[in-house]
Structure formats: structure tokens, C-alpha cells
């Protein structure tokens, strides 16, 4: 687990600090119980043991040897204490508190690069403890304990059962059924009530034979109270109480859980071999898939070359049959290449669940850090999209989730005063819509505060002071770069931290981002993305008898106009579009296309495409329509040509170039100083 | 659809570590439960193909959870792996006795975890 070690270590430190904090409180509570009553409640001792147990497990996973050793030895000591093999004393409490303080320091050092403290003195003192208390006579009266409960007891629970019997307590079984919806809270409440008058030794969930959707539990309970007293204590929970101590001596002695366990371990080990299965999946580096896709692209170019040869052969005298045969083979090859392409794209698609788990974990962590109560809901985990896109999506999604938790969802107190539930809801849902994937991040928080966004925009000069507020424009303003970094806006709007970065990342993936918000109801960010970047919808255009594909995602609109509409401003060709000056570029100039014959008429088409925040026009001769295209990287053959995204094939055996508007415009800008 | 795997562990960092490793290396959907109650809520609603559980947990411990699963008509034969420590040897034996499929002892490497899970994943 070397990868992201620093990050993982941070997580260890945070978790270890939480554990040590709880340990400090519990040790203090245990000590005051001990001082007041000469003994500590067993469940508290067990909790302290579990805390040390968790810490040791964690430290060992992170290879933190010094912390592991100290916590391991403390765990062993606490295990002895909870199993009645060592007794608590004021000296022992002092040792435990000192050890905790030492562990706290070691954890801090681990987070800062390495543990320097050393614990040999503490270890020596821990090892010196352990003179067992006077062994008590083991009480082993017959107990009417069912096999399942008996076998499910942990070593500690078995010890607690024996202790209760030794102390002469009554051992009871409490049977209870709860509805599925709230069994946890109701069972905890029942356990709490029972604990005031005794000890809940174990809680076993049992199958409900009625199949009514409820859950049944069998509690093993040790108490000094009578059966009738306990019955009245749990009556309102509808629980049934059984006395497990038979009045006579004839009941069979309970089987030791360990005895049965040994036999079963052997049989489980014998079966181990048969349980081995063969893995049916292999993991493939996405770059290898890209490589295979590139080869398919080159094969498509080859196929077009064969097609041209076949056409040439067909024109030779007497070779028609041969040419027909070649044409047939080429069509079969074309079909197979298509299948190969679809198969590769299919391999690239993965369910969005792959990142949902990460989002869920991050959201819960962020909520905890922000002191918010948030229920995270994830829908549509089976929705599939391209693996590379999925990886690129994580950061913008986490950014959006962070925004929703930090600024959208209110604190529990604020929510209650606004008449909402204490717990906010954050939902991430994904679904397919045509050839797109839609991902929505919705919170039920306070919503965007449009008035404050508007006044900040006025202050920043993004909108005129006299203009009337426009909700729609507010939604756009939060994505403007510069706007989002303005501190006071972030403060009051509660939104906008890096939303421009989110928008840029989504646009990079040829997607769009929109936002919906309602005051006090919540906010939804909607991402719409193509399923894969390997297949794109393109606009097919023609210029100087050459055909090109322009990805639809970068096209804002298309215009039909005439050469005479083009004006020259500062040596640059522009056209006026609804009062706005649109800079133009000509494909023939960019790619040095020879114009073999003049245009038949004045008519031209302009593809208006996104150029950063603004737009620019590409002048073409004709527009041939839209088509779904598979973009192949053209790689080595052409080198990396600015202005081109790759090649694709359209119709019968025709390979055309795909234009990348972003790099097309940037090269022109550099050459001509575009504004 | 990918196989669903449930990780039951009350320690957040440990659970994260396991879930992330499974997430990254196997074609499975990882679900997480921070205690036995959370597991009981997820179990009837998801067709888990494997369950990994800690033993020492509050409310309902791992043995009680295993015992319940082995009576459950749907989960009678689903592989259950115990995540425990050296020290908890006795409880691990008891877990295997009531039907756990295998176990992993902390500390374990990512490779050991993936290996064991892969071996038992149906």
C-alpha cells in the first residue's frame, strides 16, 4: 500500500487521534467507577479493549512498528483484564493513562515523518503486570442455552456469561421482534434500559420465520432482578423473556464453544482447496486499449487504400471479376473492423459505481469535517461510461460535492430553525439519456443566493449597475472565472469556489454543466457528458473538395451567408453576428488547400464554434450534415498536427480528418493576433 | 452487473483501506457497513456475493453476524471472510466453526487481501 502513502498516513493519524480521544474519556470514566465502586462496568472495559485493538490493527497495517508494539502489549493486558485474568488497580490506571499519552505523541510523530519516541520503560511496566486475581470457582450449572447462541459467543462473551453465573446472577433470554425500518434505534434503546438493571451479554439476530420483513433478536441477559421484574421492564417493546436457569439439576451441561469450534475448523480447512476458483477477469491498462484503438484507426486507413487499389483494378480491361472479389473482401474487412471497434469501446465502458464508493466516502468525510449531518444517496451506479472520462470526472464531482456540503447544506441548527430535518441530503444520480450520460449532484440546502451574487457581479462590473436582476444570468455568473475567486462573493453566496474550474474540466470532456437552484429548497448541478470520447457526433463540412468533421460539442451554431458579408477589420476577416463581431478563419488557408475551381456562387457557410469563453467562425463551402464518428488518433503518420483531433471514416471507404477547434483557433490566434 | 461485496468493520480507516483496495483491484461493487446494524440493513436489500467482517464490534459482533447469515436462506453459502488479528485467534476459530469461509490476519498486504477475496469470490 505504498501508493498515496502520505495521504493514507494522514487518514491513519486522524483515525488514531479519534480513537485515542475516546480512550482518554473512557479511561477517565473507568477510573471514577473504580474509585467509587471498586469495579468497572464490563462493557466499558470491553470498549477500552476494543479501542486499543482497533489502534493496534491500524498501526500494523501502516507498518508503524513502535506504535504497533506498544498498542499490542496494551491490548494483551486489556484482554486479560476483560477476561478476568488481571485486576484493575490505581497503579494500572496510571500506567494506562501514561501509555495513552505516549501513544498520542507517537501518532503525532508518525504524521510528521517518523516515530522518534521510544517506549521500552512503558513496555517493561506493562509486562510486569499480570499477577492474576484469586481464581474463582467456575460456576457451571446447567443452562438451557440454545446451540446457536452458545456457538456464536466470542471468548469475551463466554467469559462474561461465566462471570454472571459465578456472581449468582439470573441468566435470561430476551426475545424481541422489531420492524426493519427502525430496529437499530429501538434495539439500542432496549439494550440501554436492560443495561441499567444487568448486563446484556450477547445480541444475536435470528431469522424471522414469519417473513414479515421484521428482524428478531435473542439477547442473552445477566441480572439480579427476577423474571417478572425483567418482563415488566421490556413489556412495552413486546419482548418475551425466558429463564435459562432450570429449576432442576437434570438439564444437560452446556458444551464448550471451543470444543465444537475445533472440529469445525478442521472440516473448513479440508474444504479450503475446493473453494479455489479461477479468476474470470483481467485488468487492462487503459493506455493499451488506446493503443489497440489506434491500430484500428490505421487499419481503417489501410482499408481505404485497398479500396482505391480495387477501384483502379476494376478500370483495367478484363479484371472486373477480380475487382468484384476484392471489393467483397474489403466489405467483410470493413464489417469486422466495425465489430472490433465496438468491442473495444465496450471494454472501455465501466459502471459509474467505480467512483460512487469513493464519492460516498469523501462526502461522508467532508460532512464530518464540516460538522454537518448529511445523508449521502447514490443512484444509477450501473450507468456505464468511458473509463478515461470516469477518472477525469472524479475531481470536478468532488469539487461540486464539497461545495454542496460546505456551502449548500446548512448546519443542523440552521436547518431546524428553517423548518427542515436536522440531516441534510446529498444525492448523486447518474442516468443515460440518448448518447449522453447525465450526472446530477443535488443538495437540499439553502440554495444559491441570487441577490448577493447579483450585487457582487455589479460590484465587479460584470453587469451594469442599472440592469435588472436576472436569475438565469446569476446561474451563469457563478461559473465565470474571476467571479468565483472574489472572497466576499464566496462568503455571501456560499458558492463559487472554483466552479469555473469544474466547468472547464467538464468542457474538456466535451460535456456541459448547468445549475438549478431554489431558495431554501436546494441546488442541483447537472453534468451532461458523452458516453465516450471515442465516438462523437460530428458536423460534416466540405471545403475545396475536402471533407472534414467538426465535433458537434464545440459547435454553437451554423450560418448561411455570402462572401460579400465578410468585412475586413485590422487586416482580419470578421462577420457581424447579431451586432457582435465574430472573427473568422478559413480552412483552406489553415490547411493550405488548393482551390481547383472557383465557387459556383457567392454562398458560403460559417460554423460558429466555441473559442474559450467567446466564439469564432470557420468559413466552409458546404455543409453535409451530422454523423456519429469514431475518432482515431492519427499519430505517427501525420505527427501531431495543430487543428486536428484525428481521423474518422464516413460513408463508403472515405477517411476524413476531424477538426479540433481549440487548437485550430489557438494557432490562428498566435499567427494573427486574434483578440 | 458486478458482484457486490460487503465490508463490515467499525474502524473507518481500516474499512476505507479495505474498500479502496477492493475498489481499485477487483471488478466488484464495494459496500461498507460500520457496524453489525448497518450490515443487517444492507443485507436483505443487496445480493452480496461475499462478506468481509471484523469480529470485535459494538452492538452486534462478527460471530453473531456470521451466525445470522448462516441461517439466512440467501446467505447460507455466500463466502464470509473474517478480518481479525493474531490476538483474536480464539474468536477466529469460533467464527470458522459457525461457518466463516476464511480469514485474514492484520497486518495484511493489499496483495494478500486481493488474493484471498479473488480465491473465494464465486
Quick one: CA torsion of A596, A598, A600, A602, rounded to 10 degrees? 140
Closest chain A residue to the Cα of B109, Cα to Cα: A1
Round the average pLDDT of chain A to a whole number and report it.
Answer: 80
**Alpha-carbon distance A42 to nearest alpha carbon in chain B (angstroms):** 13
- Note the pLDDT of residue A517: 87
Asked whether the predicted pLDDT for residue A1 surpasses 60, the reply is no
Segments of A391-470 assigned E as strands? 424-433, 436-443
pLDDT at A18: 86
Instruction: Please give the helix or strand (H or E) that residue A614 lies within, else none.
Output: strand A614-620
- At A429 the pLDDT is 92
The answer to whether residue A598 scores a pLDDT higher than 80 is no
User: pLDDT at position A482, please?
Assistant: 59
Average pLDDT of A654-660? Answer: 80
Q: Is A408 exposed, middle or buried (0-12, 13-18, 19+ CB in 10 A)?
A: buried
Under 8 Å between Cβ of A452 and A471: no
The beta-carbon neighbor of A215 closest among B19, B25, B40 is B40
List the single residue in B with minimal CA-CA distance to A213: B44
Q: Are strands A622-630 and A424-433 parallel, antiparallel or unpaired?
A: unpaired
Of A57, A68, A154, the CB nearest to B91: A154
Q: Closest Cα of chain B to A524: distance in Å?
A: 25
Range A433-455 average pLDDT: 85
What average pLDDT does range A362-389 have in this prediction?
86
pLDDT bin (cut points 50, 70, 90) of residue A669 is low
Answer yes or no: are the C-beta atoms of A281 and B27 closer than 8 Å: yes
Interchain contact A181–B (C-beta under 8 A):
no
Q: Is the pLDDT of residue A674 over 70?
A: no
* Interchain CB distance below 8 Å, A58 and B121: no
Terminal alpha carbon distance of chain A = 50
Nearest by CB: A281 against B27, B32, B119:
B27
For chains A and B, what is the number of CB pairs under 8 angstroms? 171
Using a CB-CB cut-off of 8 Å, the residues of chain B touching A188 are: 59
Comparison of pLDDT for A134 and A370, the residue scoring more: A370
> Are B11 and A381 within 8 A, CB to CB?
no
> Are the C-beta atoms of A378 and A360 separated by less than 8 Å?
yes
Residues in A touching B102 (Cβ below 8 Å): 272, 275
The chain A residue lying nearest B105, using CA atoms, is A57
Per-residue pLDDT, averaged over B15-39, amounts to 90
Residue B8 confidence (pLDDT): 95
Report A:434-473 residues touching B (Cβ under 8 A): none
pLDDT at position A255 over 70: no
Q: Which of A18, A53, A63 is opposite residue B56, by nearest beta carbon?
A: A53
> Nearest residue on chain B to A58, judged by CA atoms?
B14
CB contact under 8 A, A1 and B17: yes
CB contact under 8 A, B93 and A258: yes
Grid cell 468481509 is found at B52
B60 and A205 in contact by Cβ < 8 A? yes
> A76: nearest CA in chain B?
B87
pLDDT at A134 over 80: no
Residue A258 has pLDDT above 60, yes or no: no
End-to-end CA gap in chain B: 14
Residues of A in contact with B87 (CB under 8 A): 53, 56, 72, 75-76, 79
> pLDDT for B88-107, tens place per residue?
788 888 999 999 999 998 88
Q: What is the 3-state secondary structure (H, E, C) of A256-274?
A: CHHHHHHHHHHHHHHHHHH
User: Chain B contacts of A265, Cβ < 8 Å?
Assistant: 93, 96-97
Q: pLDDT tens across A528-563, in order?
A: 888 777 677 789 898 888 889 898 878 888 999 888
* Owning domain of residue B53: 3-120
pLDDT at residue A165, rounded to an integer = 85
Give the model's confidence band at B115: pLDDT under 50 very low, under 70 low, under 90 confident, else very high.
Answer: very high
Band the pLDDT of A613: cuts 50, 70, 90.
low
Mark yes or no for CB contact B94/A257 under 8 Å: yes
Q: HSE, CB side, 13 Å, CA atoms: give it for residue A410.
A: 20
With CA atoms as reference, the chain A residue closest to B55 would be A154
Q: What is the pLDDT of residue B81?
A: 95
pLDDT digits (tens, 9 = 90+) for A265-300: 433 333 333 333 333 456 677 778 777 877 887 787
Report chain A residues whose CB lies below 8 A from the CB of B88: 53
| Percent share of chain A, pLDDT over 70 | 84
Q: What average pLDDT does this structure show over A486-515?
A: 65
Pick the residue of A185, A207, A268, A349 with the most B CBs within 10 A to test the interface with B by mutation.
A268
Instruction: Say what the pLDDT of residue A271 is.
Output: 35
| pLDDT at A131 exceeding the cut of 60 | no
- Condensed to tens digits (0 to 9), the pLDDT of residues B39-54 reads 998 998 888 999 999 9
Nearest-by-CA chain A residue for B121 = A277
Lowest mean pLDDT among A135-149, A448-462, B67-81: A135-149
Within 8 A of B59 by CB-CB distance, chain A residues are: 184, 187-188, 191, 203
Residue with cell 468497572: A40
The three three-digit cell numbers of residue A164, written as one number: 454472571
Q: Which residues of B14-36 are buried (b: 16+ CB within 10 A; e: fewer)?
A: bbbbbbbbbbeebbbbbbbbbbb
Torsions phi, psi for A223 (to 5 deg): -155, 160
pLDDT in tens, A11-50: 788 888 889 988 998 998 899 888 888 889 888 999 999 8
Return the residue in B81, B89, B107, B118 with the most chain A beta carbons within 10 A, the one to mutate for interface testing. Answer: B107
Distance from the Cα of B72 to chain A's closest Cα (Å) equals 6
C-alpha torsion sign, points B70, B72, B76, B78: negative
Q: Pick the residue of B97, B99, B100, B101 with the most A CBs within 10 A to test the interface with A by mutation.
A: B97
- In tens, the pLDDT along A328-375 reads 998 898 888 888 888 888 888 888 887 887 788 888 888 887 888 999
A608 inside 8 A of chain B by CB: no
C-alpha grid cell, residue B92: 477466529
Q: Spell out which residues of chain A touch residue B58, defining contact as CB-CB under 8 Å.
A: 47, 50
* Domain count across chain B: 1
Question: Which of B7, B18, B64 is most worth mutating to test chain A (most A CB atoms within 10 A of its CB)?
Answer: B64
The Cα A222–Cα A219 span in angstroms is 10
Return the closest-CA partner of residue A455 out of A426, A489, A424: A489
pLDDT of residue A525: 92
pLDDT at A251 over 70: no
Interface of A with B in 275-304 (CB under 8 A): 275-277, 279, 281, 283
Alpha-carbon dihedral A142, A146, A149, A154, rounded to 10 degrees:
30
- In chain B, whose CA is at the least distance from the CA of A275? B120
Which pLDDT score, from 0 to 100, does residue A6 have?
Answer: 74
Q: Does residue A528 belong to the interface with chain B, where contact is any CB pair within 8 Å?
A: no
Of the CA atoms within 13 Å of residue A456, those in its CB half-sphere come to 25
Radius of gyration of chain A (CA): 36
- pLDDT grade, residue A117 (50/70/90)? confident
Distance CA A36, CA A26 (A): 15
Residue in A154, A207, A277 nearest the CB of B119: A277
Pick the residue from chain B with its C-alpha nearest to A182: B41
- Sheet strand arrangement including A614-620: A555-562, A603-611, A614-620, A580-586, A572-577, A567-569
pLDDT in tens, A136-186: 444 445 677 788 888 888 888 988 888 888 888 889 999 999 888 888 889
Closest CA in chain B for residue A258 = B94
Whole-complex ipTM: 0.90
Q: Residue A206: what pLDDT?
A: 87
Which 71-130 residues of chain A touch chain B by CB within 8 A?
72, 75-76, 79
Residue A227 CA: distances (Å) to CA of A18, A177, A235: 40, 19, 12
Instruction: Please indicate whether, in this complex, the C-beta atoms of B93 and A262 are within 8 angstroms of each other.
Output: yes
CATH number of the CATH domain containing B93 = 3.40.50.2300
Question: Cα separation of A43 and A456, whole Å?
Answer: 57
Strands A512-518 and A522-530: antiparallel
Pair A516, A560: CB distance under 8 Å: no
How far CA B112 is from CA of A289, A608, B27, in Å, comes to 28, 56, 17
pLDDT band at A71 (very low <50, low <70, confident <90, very high): very high
- Within 10 angstroms of residue A313's Cβ, the number of other Cβ atoms is 16
Facing residue for A57 by CB, picked from B106, B110, B120: B106
Q: Work out the minimum CA distance from A432 to partner chain B, whole angstroms.
A: 16
Range in A68-72, A381-385, A519-523 the model is least confident about: A381-385
Amino acid at each position: 500500500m505504498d501508493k498515496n502513502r502520505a495521504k493514507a498516513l494522514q487518514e491513519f493519524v486522524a483515525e488514531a487521534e479519534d480513537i485515542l480521544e475516546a480512550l482518554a474519556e473512557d479511561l477517565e470514566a473507568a477510573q471514577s467507577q473504580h474509585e467509587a465502586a471498586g469495579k468497572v462496568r464490563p462493557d466499558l472495559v470491553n470498549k477500552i479493549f476494543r479501542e486499543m485493538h482497533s489502534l493496534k490493527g491500524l498501526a500494523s497495517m501502516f507498518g508503524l512498528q513502535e506504535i504497533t508494539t506498544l498498542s499490542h502489549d496494551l491490548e494483551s493486558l486489556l484482554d486479560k483484564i476483560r477476561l478476568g485474568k488481571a485486576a484493575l488497580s490505581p497503579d494500572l490506571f496510571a500506567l494506562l493513562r501514561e501509555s495513552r499519552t505516549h501513544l498520542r505523541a507517537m501518532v503525532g510523530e508518525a504524521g510528521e515523518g517518523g516515530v522518534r519516541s521510544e517506549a521500552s520503560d512503558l513496555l517493561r511496566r506493562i509486562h510486569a503486570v499480570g499477577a492474576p486475581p484469586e481464581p474463582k470457582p467456575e460456576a457451571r450449572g446447567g443452562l438451557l442455552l440454545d446451540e446457536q447462541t452458545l456457538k456464536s459467543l466470542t471468548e469475551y462473551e463466554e467469559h462474561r456469561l461465566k462471570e454472571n453465573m459465578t456472581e449468582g446472577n439470573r441468566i435470561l433470554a430476551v426475545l424481541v421482534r422489531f420492524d426493519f425500518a427502525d430496529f437499530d434505534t429501538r434495539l439500542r434503546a432496549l439494550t440501554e434500559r436492560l443495561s441499567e438493571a444487568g448486563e446484556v451479554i450477547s445480541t444475536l439476530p435470528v431469522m424471522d420465520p414469519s417473513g414479515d420483513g421484521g428482524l428478531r433478536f435473542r439477547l442473552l441477559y445477566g441480572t439480579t432482578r427476577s423474571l417478572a421484574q425483567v418482563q415488566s421492564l421490556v413489556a412495552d417493546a413486546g419482548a418475551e423473556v425466558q429463564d435459562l436457569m432450570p429449576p432442576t439439576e437434570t438439564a444437560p451441561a452446556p458444551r464448550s464453544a471451543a470444543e465444537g469450534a475445533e472440529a469445525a475448523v478442521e472440516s473448513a480447512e479440508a474444504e479450503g482447496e475446493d473453494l479455489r476458483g479461477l479468476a474470470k477477469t483481467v485488468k487492462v491498462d487503459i493506455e493499451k486499449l488506446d493503443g489497440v484503438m489506434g491500430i484500428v484507426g490505421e487499419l481503417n486507413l489501410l482499408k481505404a487504400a485497398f479500396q482505391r487499389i480495387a477501384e483502379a483494378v476494376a478500370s483495367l480491361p478484363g479484371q472486373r471479376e477480380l475487382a468484384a472479389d476484392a471489393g467483397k473482401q474489403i466489405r467483410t474487412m470493413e464489417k469486422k473492423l466495425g465489430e472490433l471497434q465496438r468491442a473495444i469501446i465496450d471494454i472501455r465502458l465501466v459502471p459509474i459505481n467505480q467512483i460512487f464508493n469513493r464519492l460516498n466516502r469523501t462526502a461522508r468525510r467532508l460532512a464530518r469535517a464540516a460538522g454537518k449531518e448529511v445523508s449521502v444517496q447514490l443512484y444509477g451506479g450501473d450507468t456505464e461510461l468511458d473509463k478515461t472520462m470516469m477518472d477525469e470526472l472524479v475531481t470536478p464531482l468532488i469539487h461540486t460535492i464539497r461545495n454542496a456540503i460546505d456551502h449548500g447544506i446548512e448546519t443542523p441548527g440552521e436547518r431546524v430553525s428553517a423548518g427542515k430535518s436536522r440531516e441534510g441530503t446529498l444525492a448523486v444520480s447518474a442516468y443515460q439519456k440518448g448518447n449522453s450520460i447525465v450526472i446530477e449532484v443535488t443538495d437540499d440546502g439553502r440554495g444559491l443566493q441570487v441577490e448577493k451574487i447579483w450585487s457582487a457581479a455589479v460590484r465587479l462590473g460584470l453587469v451594469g449597475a442599472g440592469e435588472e436582476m436576472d436569475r438565469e444570468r446569476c446561474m451563469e455568473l457563478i461559473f465565470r472565472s474571476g467571479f468565483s475567486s472574489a472572497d466576499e462573493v464566496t462568503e455571501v453566496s456560499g458558492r463559487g469556489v472554483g466552479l469555473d474550474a469544474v466547468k472547464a474540466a467538464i468542457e474538456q470532456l466535451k460535456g456541459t454543466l448547468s445549475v438549478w437552484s431554489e431558495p431554501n429548497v436546494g441546488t442541483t448541478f447537472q453534468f451532461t457528458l458523452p458516453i465516450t470520447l471515442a465516438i462523437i457526433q460530428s458536423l460534416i463540412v466540405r471545403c475545396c473538395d475536402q471533407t472534414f468533421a467538426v465535433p458537434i460539442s464545440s459547435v454553437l451554431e451554423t450560418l448561411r451567408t455570402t462572401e460579400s458579408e465578410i468585412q475586413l477589420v485590422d487586416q482580419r476577416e470578421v462577420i457581424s453576428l447579431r451586432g457582435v463581431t465574430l472573427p473568422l478563419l478559413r480552412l483552406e488557408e489553415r490547411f493550405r488547400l488548393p482551390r481547383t475551381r472557383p465557387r459556383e456562387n457567392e454562398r458560403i457557410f460559417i460554423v460558429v464554434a466555441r473559442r474559450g469563453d467567446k466564439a469564432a467562425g470557420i468559413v466552409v463551402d458546404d455543409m453535409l450534415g451530422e454523423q456519429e464518428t469514431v475518432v482515431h488518433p492519427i499519430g505517427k503518420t501525420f505527427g501531431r498536427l495543430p487543428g486536428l483531433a484525428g481521423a474518422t471514416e464516413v460513408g463508403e471507404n472515405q477517411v476524413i480528418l476531424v477538426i479540433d477547434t481549440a487548437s485550430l483557433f489557438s494557432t490562428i490566434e498566435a499567427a494573427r493576433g486574434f483578440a | 452487473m458486478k458482484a457486490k461485496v460487503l465490508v463490515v468493520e467499525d474502524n473507518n480507516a481500516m474499512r476505507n483501506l479495505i474498500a479502496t483496495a477492493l475498489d481499485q483491484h477487483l471488478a466488484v461493487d464495494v459496500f461498507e457497513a460500520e457496524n453489525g446494524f448497518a450490515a443487517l440493513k444492507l443485507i436483505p436489500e443487496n445480493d452480496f456475493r461475499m462478506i468481509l467482517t471484523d469480529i470485535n464490534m459494538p452492538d452486534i459482533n462478527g460471530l453473531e453476524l456470521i451466525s445470522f447469515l448462516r441461517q439466512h436462506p440467501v446467505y447460507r453459502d455466500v463466502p464470509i471472510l473474517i478480518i481479525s488479528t493474531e490476538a483474536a485467534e480464539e474468536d477466529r476459530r469460533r467464527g470458522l466453526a459457525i461457518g466463516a469461509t476464511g480469514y485474514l490476519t492484520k497486518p495484511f498486504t493489499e496483495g494478500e487481501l486481493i488474493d484471498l477475496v479473488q480465491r473465494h469470490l464465486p
